[in-house]
Amino acid sequence: MTSSSLRTAYALLALAAALTSCKSHPQEPGADLHADHAGSAPATAAATAALPPAQNAVQAEMRLLHEATRDWVSAIANNTLEAIPTGIHKVHQARTATEKALEKGEYELPKKGGTLDDFKKQDEEFHDELVALLKASKANDLAATTKQLGVVLEGCTSCHTKYRF
């Protein structure tokens, strides 16, 4: 692994640590888009399972994405890339419910950073990046998987900056 790849891997590990301890940011009264971020204890499968159910399809997909991202960082750190596809498949399955909720008008973007069509386009591009992560992990290419996870995380930040924060 090159020094650049190692720096990226270490940065991703630091980000994972931050994700497991960050405070939540409520988006609407009584609703928390990422409830599994709440509290200072590390986010674990048991801690996540103890949370109240997501209040809408977008929250459910984001919860799965958060859990998967945490697992992907661990998979990269341990070079167990075969663990990555499971999380991607869960997120893609949840996306169907999100798309239906958006079409039915059951979810409104918390922050008006653009139109619903803009959001859908950005979501499509994000899921394309997840497919690239899937391909890199299936090729068992640690460096490419690490780099692609960075692209995926940038997609998270970009969307949250525009539509959430």
Distances (CA, A) of 79 to 9, 117, 141, 156: 11, 38, 9, 23
Q: Where are the beta strands (DSSP E) in the chain?
A: none
CA angle 25, 49, 38 (to 5 degrees): 20
Contact 88, 130 (CB under 8 A): yes
CB 94 within 8 A of CB 60: yes
Residue-wise pLDDT for 130-160, tens only, equals 999 999 999 999 999 999 999 999 999 999 9
Residues paired with 28 in a beta bridge: 31
Q: Which residue, chain included where needed, has tokens 């692209």?
A: 151
Q: What is the pLDDT of residues 50-100, one digit of tens each?
A: 556 668 899 999 999 999 999 999 999 999 999 999 999 999 999 999 999
* This prediction's pTM: 0.70
Give the model's pLDDT for residue 8: 52
Tell me the two tokens of residue 131: 């497919």
Give the pLDDT of residue 108.
Answer: 85
Q: What percent of the chain has pLDDT over 90?
A: 55
DSSP string, 47-81: HHHTSPPPSSHHHHHHHHHHHHHHHHHHHHHHT-G
Is the CA virtual torsion 115, 111, 35, 44 positive or negative?
Answer: positive
All domains in the chain, ordered by first residue: 3-163 (1.20.120)
